[in-house]
Amino acid sequence: MRSSQKEILHEPQLIEPDNVVLDDNVFFPQEVEPDLQLLVPPIRPNMAEERILLSDPFLGSSKEDAAEFWRRLETYLEYKRSDDSDKLRLTTAMFVCTARYWYEGLSEERKDTFLHFKAAFAEKFI
């Protein structure tokens, strides 16, 4: 059994893609029996890649480039294909020290959605 076959059998996940490429062959599920399911290994995140994309936590210091922090954060959120609640959760986790105190002092209306929080952040730090 090839190494890739062992991985496929190890921790399979069921998927229903439009098409799947396995060993240079493209399989179109709509052309396969309806009861046939494709097993693929789970996607493991590349931690080095994530570390490069995700910026350091934001301190709220005037020495930091707040616009660059936010740009890198949004790039990471896009990379992760985060929904609004995940975006808000990760963004707030990235705030430490003075920035965390500022976040905790915001009214609920200013931090109830990602867009509201983004506007509050821009108003204060950018």
Is residue 114 domain-shared with residue 55, that is, in the same domain?
yes
Same-domain check for residues 13 and 34: yes
What is the domain extent for residue 24?
A: 3-40
pLDDT, tens digit, for every residue of 25-60? 555 555 555 555 555 555 555 666 666 677 789 999
Say yes or no: 82 and 110 in one domain. yes
**Distance between CA atoms of 74 and 84, rounded to whole angstroms?**
12
pTM above 0.85, yes or no: no
Looking at the 3D structure of the chain, how many domains does it have? 2
The verdict on 28 and 70 lying in the same domain is no
